[in-house]
A and B are shown apart, each in its own frame.
Chain A
Amino acid sequence: MDKASNPSSVSHGASNGASSSGNAAHLAFSAENERWFQKMLPQYPDREAALIPTLHRALNQFGALSEDVIHFVADKLELPISKVLAVISFYTMLKREPQGKYNVQVCRTLSCALMGAEELIAHLEKKLGIHLGETTPDGRFTLSTAECLASCGTAPVLQINVEELDENLTIEKVDSILARCH
């Protein structure tokens, strides 16, 4: 992802960049997330610092950082929409669009590439019938690459839905991992 590029827009409703109240009235954190939020907040002298941890939790709960969710987080932290959008645009993990049920990310950086990552990516594209960056029509798999996942000693590696890494991959292992994804 190119950090310098400038994606999207979100309607600002009536508030033109100031804290918005409109769309988010019906959204709330789960009880567990709210407990976490209240416990975490006092460790920062500034609410803005809680933005990325809060976005992670919201993404996990709501599945995507849609316009509603963005307003929800902005309201909760009393931040302007523009600041929340800027942060979302900068970081690869903060996804605005829903991903497939299984978001498959293969590390593409040098150590994994030296150990056959490109062949694995080509195999996955063929097997799933999609290109990098795409989602299968049934919504099950999204395929993309990640930059160095800090597992170069067990290369090549992939990560599904940001869970534990799958390491020391071969074509056979990749096939059996996919077979477990229902």
Chain B
Amino acid sequence: MDEVRLLKQNWYVPQAWNIDVYINQCNFGYRTAERVVKTMQPSAVTDLVKASGLRGRGGAGFPTGVKWGFVPKNINKPVYLINNADEGEPGTFKDRYIMELDPHMMIEGMIIAAYALGCHQAYVYIRGELKLAIERVQGAIDQCYAKGFLGKGIFGTSFDLDMIVHPGAGAYICGEETGLISSLEGKKGQPRLKPPFPAVVGVFGSPTIVNNTETLASLPYILEHGVEKYRQQGTEKSPGTKLFTVSGHVMKPGVYEIPLGFPLKDLIFNLCGGLKPGRTLKAVIPGGSSAPVLTAEEALKCTMDYESIAAAGSMLGSGAVIIMDDSTDMVWALANLSSFYAHESCGQCTPCREGTRWMDDIIHKFKRNQAELSDFDLLMDICDNMTGTTICALSDAAVMPVKSFVTKFRNEFEQHVRRV
């Protein structure tokens, strides 16, 4: 089985971020968005996206068309569309490549989404650190305004759409949709309780749809080729293709587009060229650092779709596959991740603010061979108190690597217990 290049189809066209190249040499050249805006009813667009089964590509995997359907009808407030380009899940780098190499396909997808939602103001919230992505996307937006694909009366219709890049400023938590909304409003990026969901009460108190970059970039293909063709790839419950970012101890790390349902072992050993010479597979994180780690044995049985990875006790998440070979010290690796979550906790909720720091301290005790046997139970107790007890899922996310690493690689942690 090989890569399937649908999302990636323009990545190797030189200067595809230049609108004249995008129009003349690339799919979809804004022709799809123009046809949608000129000939389709907004509700028909939403129905089509629902029928396609497209699921959010940011990490939660929630059906996109269903999410759109939550926006109340006949409401006297503007509807906002936010492209969540705050890619920050460790191991993930697909959205950055979309923005740098093919921003126009993403913008075309945003036009389609905005039209379906009756939205006239869209934001692309991009990680502040991603300077080239910010430049390319804002440049692409400016080119669209110049051609009349954005602004007043796009494509010569009566549909207005404004769009602007809004930079983040260095906070992982702003990838959480309500944290992002807070940040976009000019505040600290602290998440909010759901319900109310953003589709009902979002940014500026108005209905808001927050979609991941890859999700939006998936739309032109679906609108151009239809549901049946889209569903030819992937599985029944996880249709389509997805970008997987592979990193760590493989010969050919990078972004790979494969149909959902692709065997993980083929991804690692065929597409990614296998492990380094003389090494064996030890562990795989299948969906970004917030997904529980899998042992090599568990990983090799999985296919890359939401259901198979969930059945293995983990999550497809952002599709960030981190490969660890037998040279990896799992205590050291976990300490790296626990520090990440301790840094990134927004501080609102006591279980997370205190728990991420406390877990990090204990795991570093293990790293220094200073842990006690009682620290195992203490860690699990902290994990339990951090799960389902907070405003957002960062707390639960921080727990995932801790529980899975300590449980599945317990012998390594036991070796780091303090010898009296």
Interfacial residues, chain A to chain B (CB-CB below 8 A): 1-4, 40, 43, 45-46, 48-53, 55-56, 79, 83, 86-87, 89-94, 108-111, 113-115, 146-155, 159, 162-165
Interfacial residues, chain B to chain A (CB-CB below 8 A): 78, 87-93, 95-96, 121, 123, 127-132, 162, 164, 166-173, 183-189, 204, 245-249, 253-255, 289, 320, 322, 324, 328, 333, 336-337, 339-340, 342-347, 353, 357
Answer whether A152 and B353 are a contact pair too, CB < 8 Å, given A2-B343, A52-B168, A164-B131. no
Known: A162-B129, A164-B132. 16 other contacts (CB 8 A): A3-B346, A52-B169, A53-B166, A56-B128, A91-B189, A92-B170, A108-B339, A110-B248, A110-B340, A113-B333, A114-B322, A148-B89, A152-B247, A152-B248, A154-B253, A163-B131
B248 lies within 8 A of A115 (CB): yes
B88 lies within 8 A of A148 (CB): yes
Task: Name B345's contact: one of A3, A43, A89, A108 (CB within 8 Å).
Answer: A3
Q: How far is the CA of A149 from the CA of B172 in the complex (A)?
A: 10
A87 lies within 8 A of B187 (CB): yes
- Between A91, A109, A148, the greatest number of chain B beta carbons within 10 A of the residue's beta carbon is seen for A148
Q: How far is the CA of A2 from the CA of B167 in the complex (A)?
A: 21
Task: Name A155's contact: one of B162, B164, B185, B247 (CB within 8 Å).
Answer: B247
Q: How far is the CA of A40 from the CA of B78 in the complex (A)?
A: 18
Task: Name A147's contact: one of B168, B172, B185 (CB within 8 Å).
Answer: B172
Nearest-Cβ distance from residue B8 to partner chain A, whole angstroms: 13
Residue of B with least CB distance to A77: B186
Q: How far is the CA of A152 from the CA of B336 in the complex (A)?
A: 15
Q: Which residues of B contact A4 (CB under 8 A)?
A: 345-347, 353
Q: Which residues of A contact B347 (CB under 8 A)?
A: 3-4
Nearest-Cβ distance from residue A63 to partner chain B, whole angstroms: 16
Answer whether A110 and B128 are a contact pair too, CB < 8 Å, given A91-B170, A148-B89. no
Task: Name B328's contact: one of A45, A93, A114 (CB within 8 Å).
Answer: A114
3 closest Cβ pairs, A-B complex: A4-B347, A92-B170, A91-B169
A153 lies within 8 A of B245 (CB): yes
B186 lies within 8 A of A87 (CB): yes
Q: How far is the CA of A133 from the CA of B287 in the complex (A)?
A: 31
B164 lies within 8 A of A90 (CB): no
A52 lies within 8 A of B96 (CB): no
Answer whether A159 and B186 are a contact pair too, CB < 8 Å, given A93-B169, A152-B247. no
Task: Name A110's contact: one of B90, B123, B246, B255 (CB within 8 Å).
Answer: B90
Q: How far is the CA of A154 from the CA of B91 in the complex (A)?
A: 11
Nearest-Cβ distance from residue B58 to partner chain A, whole angstroms: 13
Q: How far is the CA of A52 from the CA of B169 in the complex (A)?
A: 7
Q: Which residues of B contact A165 (CB under 8 A)?
A: 132
Interface pairs (13), CB distance under 8 Å: A2-B342, A43-B164, A51-B186, A52-B167, A86-B187, A89-B188, A91-B168, A92-B169, A109-B336, A115-B248, A148-B90, A148-B172, A154-B253
Residue of B with least CB distance to A48: B186
B90 lies within 8 A of A53 (CB): no
Q: How far is the CA of A165 from the CA of B336 in the complex (A)?
A: 21
Q: Which residues of A contact B96 (CB under 8 A)?
A: 150-151
Nearest-Cβ distance from residue B138 to partner chain A, whole angstroms: 10
Q: How far is the CA of A45 from the CA of B87 in the complex (A)?
A: 26
Q: Which residues of B contact A51 (CB under 8 A)?
A: 186
A153 lies within 8 A of B255 (CB): yes
Nearest-Cβ distance from residue B99 to partner chain A, whole angstroms: 10
Q: How far is the CA of A113 from the CA of B285 in the complex (A)?
A: 15
A52 lies within 8 A of B186 (CB): yes
Task: Name B186's contact: one of A46, A148, A154, A163 (CB within 8 Å).
Answer: A46
Residue of A with least CB distance to B250: A153
Q: Which residues of A contact B91 (CB under 8 A)?
A: 110-111, 148, 152
Q: How far is the CA of A93 from the CA of B174 in the complex (A)?
A: 13
B289 lies within 8 A of A93 (CB): no
Residue of B with least CB distance to A146: B129
Nearest-Cβ distance from residue B134 to partner chain A, whole angstroms: 10
Q: Which residues of B contact A108 (CB under 8 A)?
A: 336, 339
Residue of B with least CB distance to A5: B347
Nearest-Cβ distance from residue B189 to partner chain A, whole angstroms: 7
Q: Which residues of A contact B128 (CB under 8 A)?
A: 56, 91, 93, 162
Q: Which residues of B contact A155 (CB under 8 A)?
A: 247, 253
